[in-house]
Structure 1
Amino acid sequence: MPSTPASTKGRIGVLLVNLGTPDSPKTADVRRYLNEFLTDGRVVDMPAAIRYPLFRGVVVPLRAPKSAKVYQQLWTERGSPLLFHGLDLKKMVQEQLGNDYLVAFGMRYQNPSIESALQELRDAAVDRIIVLPLFPQYAAASTGSVQEKVMEIVSKWWVVPSISFISSFADDPGYINTFATLGKAEMAKRNYDHVVFSYHGIPERHVLKGSQNGYCKLANCCNHYNKNNRYCYRAQCYETSRLLAKAMDLAPEQYTVTFQSRLQSRLRDPWLQPYTDEVLKEFPGKGIQNVLAFSPAFVADCLETTIEVGEEFKEMFEEAGGGHWQLVASCNTHPLWVEAVVDMIHRN
């Protein structure tokens, strides 16, 4: 009898990608990271002839020593939380997916690189690749940059397998359930007057540049999530907030959506508003003394969550006369988050 032909199907490759982190909190490593990050044309969308000399020659040399001190506060025995949570997530997702999949992890900036992660999948001759940038809300400066980098790398391969991208998961039930569960656990410990959903800010022009047929007005257009704004970062932030509020039984007046981490003066270059640091200072005057803060743009704890929201904003709130400010931890490797990632991969 003729032998049964062997299957030509290989494993499915999964590429998990997060933003990046310095190799160490030393100034030289922080400078190297910032140089790569801040000269990305999707992060700072100005002509390269201006961008490179401005940031490599002026901004980064001034910023690196200060950032290094902050990274020293963040660093643990295991190193950067963004890195070790990513590696742990990779391992856990691999265990749940099984041998039909091969999971790799890379960073958009620095190490482990996207290129090394893709090479791992290429060496394994995977049948196709699913790319999951670990940014819930799509932005050209984060998800878009990852997609561009992946395509740039594979364009040099002689054989390019099928590749698909999970471009956003701002309304994914598993993602929402994970953050809501973490939030409800904190709410069970204390009565909170108000909840803040603080998202990483981006320049308003980034939102307007991605607007479909001029739909975006940076106003009430984000009140409803629909086909016209499904890739609008601002609209996705508001949709995530509405879903989290619903999952935690919060009325609209019980929470505020804000934006953090702006790089430049709003007078020269307005970023998405309202700004978290300005809003929180007004709370005590309104009788808001206990605040529960989320940073739902990040699925792993990092400088922007642990230090900025967890420590710097806490200090600002207390100095303004506030009482208790509590950061809700990111998804990290919570079992519900691991399940959510596995489910997204299966669906794609």
Structure 2
Amino acid sequence: MRTAIVLFNLGGPDRPEAIKPFRVNLFLDKAIIRAPWFIRVWLSRLIARSSSKAAYENYQLMGGKSPLLELTQAQASALEANLGPDYRCFIAMRYWHPFARETIRELKAWAPERVLLLPLYPQFSTTTTGSSLTNWREAVAEAGLTVQVTTLCCWFDDKAYVASIAALVREAIEDAMAQKKGLRLRVLFSAHGLPESIIKAGDPYQAQVEATSAAVMTLLANTGVEAQVCYQSRATPQKWLEPSTIEAIEQAGRDGVGVVVVPIAFVSDHIETLVELDIENRHLAEKAGVPVYIRSRAPNDDPDFIRALAGLVRRAKTPGLCRGGSPCGKHKDCPWEIRGAP
């Protein structure tokens, strides 16, 4: 069956001039700033303006733009090669090009027999997968797209995905151990943070991040390392999930343990791995006296990770299903009602 796979991700500025509008789009999203429209407009512009200099400098460290689109294109190409000629991948970014409405025009021209929506967020959150799928539904309604649709809303506990992450973490652990024999080591599973209020409202993201991290550590039980979940990238004054990655690194320094930082909620490198973790937090670790600081590789187009995605796609056969084969809404932890929605 001729199948279009739509890969969703955050997006990122493709040139310095796009940094401000990208950030405005991000903070204008009602799933991110949960306030009336006129307040979101004011806040999005205020936040983008107040931190524009720092944002510009950080993107300059990556050549003036985000690498996320190119990395997602590489993932799409690798996934197509794994699945064969009956499948074609399309990319829809949430806050910068290609937007969903642009992707739908391209998808319609290819005329698929069915569409599989595959958010590149392993753990579901209303702020990521939920926002992308809502945006997609709105764009589909505008475009009048009518085609059989299957949605994978989360895959945080998929065995092949977990195994692919465990292999990357094991590689980083071995690197850290090689740098300093007999090192006491702590794995920090660093996920993008959220305000606590969003979790208290029923968002399953924190529970799914913790479940993924625990599943990875089960496969690494023979390494003898410690593990901790932490959260990065706080962006608003609200109380966010704790501990922060900064706090976890500082505590590691006080404890005299080396750290392996795992970007557990990210499947592609972008500003939060390449700048926040690799530069800012590395400097923090040195200042805090952390003996060894290693960041495990993001999946990107790692062959094991791509095979895991291909497995999810092959198992997602029925319209309206999520998590690769179980009816959406039937899981006790299923976070989002898909039935009847494109």
Q: TM-score, normalised by structure 1?
A: 0.85
Pick from 186, 190, 194 the counterpart of residue 194 of structure 1. Answer: 186
Give 1:253-272 correspondences, 5 Å limit.
254-265=226-237, 269-272=238-241
1:329 alignment partner AA:
R
> Which blocks of at least 5 consecutive residues in structure 2 are unaligned?
178-182, 317-342
1:208 paired to 2:200: yes
Whose radius of gyration is greater, 1 or 2?
Answer: 1
- Corresponding position of 1:228: none
- Aligned with 2:26: secondary structure? helix
2:209 equivalent to 1:241: no
Aligned-partner SS, 2:167: helix
Q: Report Cα offsets for 1:90-143 as digits up to 9, x if no partner.
A: 111112212212211121111122222222221111111111110111010100
Separation of aligned partners in 1, 2:189 and 2:133: 27
1:120-177 superposed Cα distances (whole Å, 9 cap, x missing partner): 2211111111111101110101000110011001112334112222111111112211
| CA contact 1:75–1:81 (8 Å) conserved in 2 | no
Residues 102 and 121, structure 1, Cα contact 8 Å, conserved in 2: no
Distance across 1 between alignment mates of 2:210 and 2:42 = 36
C-alpha change, 1:96 and 1:64, in structure 2 (3 Å) is same
Runs of 4+ in 1 over 4 A off after TM superposition: 250-253
Corresponding residue number in structure 2 for 1:226: none
Partner Cα distance (1:43, 1:151) in 2: 18
Percent of aligned positions with the same letter in both sequences?
A: 27
TM-score of the superposed pair, with normalisation by structure 2: 0.86
- Cα distance in structure 2, aligned partners of 1:102 and 1:96: 11
| Cα-to-partner distance string for 1:19-70 (whole Å, 9 max, x where unaligned) | 110021x2x31001001111010011111111102222x2211222220110
- Structure 1 spans left out of the alignment, 5+ residues: 1-9, 212-231
User: What is residue 28 of structure 2 aligned with on the other side?
Assistant: 39
Query: RMSD in angstroms over aligned alpha carbons?
Result: 1.7
| Equivalent residue number for residue 38 of structure 2 | 49
Matches within 5 A, 1:155-304: 155-191=141-177, 193-210=185-202, 232-249=204-221, 254-265=226-237, 269-288=238-257, 290-304=258-272
In structure 2, the residue matched to 1:67 is: 55
User: Contact (CA 8 Å) 1:18, 1:135: kept in 2 or not?
Assistant: yes
Size of the alignment, in residue pairs? 310
- Structure 2: distance between partners of 1:164 and 1:252: 41
8 Å contact 2:71–2:301 — kept in the other structure?
Answer: yes
